[in-house]
Structure 1
Amino acid sequence: MTASDATTGAPVCSGCGVRLQSESPDKPGYVPEQALGREDAICRRCFRIRHYNDVTHVAVDQDDFLRMLSGIAGTDSLVVHIVDLFDFEGSVISGLQRFVGNNPVLLVVNKIDLLPKSTNWNRVRNWVQRQAKLLGLKPAEIVLCSAAKRTGFDRVIEAIQALRGGRDIYVVGATNVGKSTLINRLIRDYSDLDRELTVSRYPGTTLDQIRIPLDDGRYIIDTPGIVYPYRLTETVPKGVLQRLLPEKPLKPLVYQLNERQTLFFGALARFDFVRGEPQSFTLYVSPSLYVHRTKLERADEVYAEHKGELLAPPNADELDAISPWTRHSLRIPPGSRTDISISGLGWIRANSPAGAFVEVYAPKGVHVILREAMI
């Protein structure tokens, strides 16, 4: 008979203890409907651990995630916080420092392979240090890496060895930051588990923490990915998501604009250069994202006539899934090194010796900020 929750009687995964459900594949406890009534049913995540030694990410909402984090301060652990360099501010866990107590935090900055090959990495590292401080983070160490290209992973392992001191390892991060790749690498480097491992060796909680045993009797605690609704990548259909997330190094797009010119990013966002001397703006976005330039006075007309067609993604049948736009008015100081970051979409480097006044339209709730230029 399927295991059940002692209080509610609802079926739970016999591997990790999460309540089973068949409605949402990207949520904890997913199992195909036909498997719900099976004896000792296990969720899809535990199935993949058992048969493929693959810890795939699961997402939870912000409130559940923060409740789960609240217990870390009472442990003796190393916290590995993974963030996405392509959406740094959007993937940082807000308020993490108050949850970890005296435990050290290793900040792992993933997806460095997306930046141009000519990037000055010392400058990027210094930028990350300054941004982390502004966001209230106090990492014991910062490591830049690429999970996809395995660049810098040896340095991540070295930093963990130096900071761990025999502690458990909590791995935390937002969705789509590369957490699963790091977890699987840690399993290979720190554990003797093989492809025949059983789910029962991975006890968990209803929030789907997975405790992965290490050779020395301690654990890697894999936490579900947190969903931040202010990231564009969390609000778009899957087909659009594939075009938002770049897989190859970004090729900066430079636009020389006069005032009262507009750039459309498909039908996902709009950038208006409202006022200022003629100047260039450098775009760092996925090459799969279509950028269209027009005059500001025609922008509303162009959007109304061409959204979902010329202006795509999203396509016409996906438009209803995108929230209405909100306008953000931004003043770029003269002579500043400034990025205009649209969380989940990328950023625009403003090259403004005389300053500029711009407006950005993005789906409601998506964060649009000015920041010190990354590169």
Structure 2
Amino acid sequence: MRCPGCGAAIQFDDPKKPGYIPREVFEKRLEEGKEILCQRCFRMKHYGKLEPVEFDWDFKNQLKSYLGGFDVVVWVIDIFDFEGTYREDIAEILKGKRVIYVINKIDLLPRAVTVKEIKEWVKKRIKTKNTDDIRIVSAEKNFGLTSLVKYLSRLTDKALVVGVTNVGKSSLLNKICTHENTISPFPGTTLGILKRKVKEANLYLYDTPGIMTSDRILDLLDPECQKRVLPREELSRKTFKPDNGRTIFMGGLCRFDIHFETEKNPIFLLFSSKEVTFHETRRERADELMRNRLGDLLIPPCSKTKFENFKWKRETFTLKEGEELAVAGLGWMSVRRGPFTVEVTVPDSVKLVVREALVNPKR
């Protein structure tokens, strides 16, 4: 038997895979002669909730199968976690489509950073010539949403919406769409998507499941901790001017060991959620803190956690003024005075990226 919503074969074993339904629910609905939807499709139909899916090769093929019906794709990206939410593998799949890059959560950045600056920065990062296709928004503050709808309406009457988990895709769509949702199965696919009508516009947006990743600090946290540390207001930022050999923690899962040979101490800022601990200490004390204070003094994680629960890696970078070191799913270091060397310790899967500064170092 297959689910009529998404076409996946009904199965009772793995809630993370397509077609899952609890056996007792299946038997009850079968006995009552009611429609049998898999758990994912049931939640979509009755609650408008899309379950996230892992971004493996199977889902990449699923995404490709959706694209045939659309000329325009809306890709929602989190400006706070640009490195974790703008992904080269997704960009490769979307080649040949008109992609509208919706850069969300700009309310988290310092107010001195202008929309024009954000657009120019994103334009360089995604290597596009068309700045108009970069739409700067804040779903939380209703900024840029009217302009986004008008822009999309001029281009098409339907668009596919994609994005990884926690970028604010659902919040954005809830602001601009009605709450009447329908499941739209696509031939040959095993994942249904939600068809949503945009308010006061001849435009339908087809919402796909949030894509789960595995290279962000956020991915290593339980759902409650994710909810706690996801920033919902302007980012916390703190300036450091450390002596040689000092260690700075950004939470318990990211450690910076600082080295320099210049006369003047380096100066840098850390940007992250207000719930993330910034802590400076001596190098010799840092090892003890990592082994004994994860989830206690150093948050995230949000509860007492053993150092041995993670496989760790160390990477070394030389940073200069005007550069940032981004830690996917956590925040970034922004250099005001350099150069200096930083040895970064994070869980093995976490992506680290050196980039041109998003926040102007002269500010």
Category of TM-score, reference length = shorter chain: 0.7 to 0.9
Does residue 1:231 correspond to 2:216, yes or no?
yes
* Structure 1: distance between partners of 2:68 and 2:174: 26
Query: Residue 158 of structure 1: which of 125, 131, 150 is its match?
Result: 150
Deviation at 1:219, TM superposition (A): 5.5
Of 120-129 and 220-229, more deviation after overlay is shown by 220-229
Q: Deviations over 1:315-349 (max 9, x none)?
A: 5654479522211100013xx30111000011111
Deviation at 1:27, TM superposition (A): 6.0
Report the TM-score when normalising by structure 2: 0.84
Hey, what does 1:8 align to over in structure 2? none
Hey, what does 2:300 align to over in structure 1? 313
Give the paired residue count: 349
Deviation at 1:366, TM superposition (A): 0.3
Aligned partner of residue 81 in structure 2, secondary structure: helix
Of 217-226 and 360-369, more deviation after overlay is shown by 217-226
Of 336-345 and 138-147, more deviation after overlay is shown by 138-147
* Structure 1: distance between partners of 2:221 and 2:308: 7
Whichever residue aligns with residue 202 of structure 1, its letter is: S
Of 70-79 and 215-224, more deviation after overlay is shown by 215-224
Deviation at 1:21, TM superposition (A): 5.6
Structure 2 counterparts to residues 10-21 of structure 1, below 5 A: 12=3, 14-20=4-10
* Structure 1: distance between partners of 2:308 and 2:176: 37
Hey, what does 1:245 align to over in structure 2? 230
Does residue 1:90 correspond to 2:84, yes or no?
yes
Alignment check: 8 A CA contact 2:328 2:352 kept: yes
Whichever residue aligns with residue 268 of structure 1, its letter is: L
The verdict on how the C-alpha distance between 1:360 and 1:345 changes in structure 2, with shifts beyond 3 A counting, is same
Hey, what does 2:310 align to over in structure 1? 323
Structure 2 counterparts to residues 35-74 of structure 1, below 5 A: 35-37=25-27, 38-39=29-30, 40-52=35-47, 54-71=48-65, 74=68
The answer for unaligned runs of 5 or more in structure 1 is 6-11
Deviation at 1:177, TM superposition (A): 1.0
Deviation at 1:93, TM superposition (A): 3.1
* Structure 1: distance between partners of 2:161 and 2:155: 14
* Structure 2: distance between partners of 1:79 and 1:264: 39
Alignment check: 8 A CA contact 2:290 2:307 kept: no
* Structure 2: distance between partners of 1:282 and 1:346: 11
Deviation at 1:36, TM superposition (A): 2.9
Alignment check: 8 A CA contact 1:269 1:360 kept: yes
Deviation at 1:228, TM superposition (A): 2.0
* Structure 2: distance between partners of 1:137 and 1:30: 43
* Structure 2: distance between partners of 1:343 and 1:145: 21
* Structure 1: distance between partners of 2:305 and 2:87: 29
* Structure 1: distance between partners of 2:302 and 2:174: 36
Q: Compute the RMSD of aligned alpha carbons.
A: 3.0
The verdict on how the C-alpha distance between 1:160 and 1:25 changes in structure 2, with shifts beyond 3 A counting, is farther
The verdict on how the C-alpha distance between 1:324 and 1:56 changes in structure 2, with shifts beyond 3 A counting, is same
Alignment check: 8 A CA contact 2:123 2:129 kept: no
* Structure 1: distance between partners of 2:125 and 2:103: 12
Whichever residue aligns with residue 244 of structure 2, its letter is: E
Hey, what does 2:357 align to over in structure 1? 373
Whichever residue aligns with residue 122 of structure 1, its letter is: K
Deviation at 1:139, TM superposition (A): 7.4
* Structure 2: distance between partners of 1:28 and 1:183: 24
Hey, what does 2:133 align to over in structure 1? 141
Query: Residue 175 of structure 1: which of 153, 165, 168 is its match?
Result: 165
Hey, what does 1:80 align to over in structure 2? 74
Hey, what does 1:271 align to over in structure 2? 256
Whichever residue aligns with residue 112 of structure 2, its letter is: S
Identity %: 31
The verdict on how the C-alpha distance between 1:137 and 1:203 changes in structure 2, with shifts beyond 3 A counting, is farther
Deviation at 1:66, TM superposition (A): 1.5
Deviation at 1:109, TM superposition (A): 0.6
The verdict on how the C-alpha distance between 1:104 and 1:356 changes in structure 2, with shifts beyond 3 A counting, is same
Does residue 1:212 correspond to 2:195, yes or no?
yes
The verdict on how the C-alpha distance between 1:218 and 1:349 changes in structure 2, with shifts beyond 3 A counting, is closer
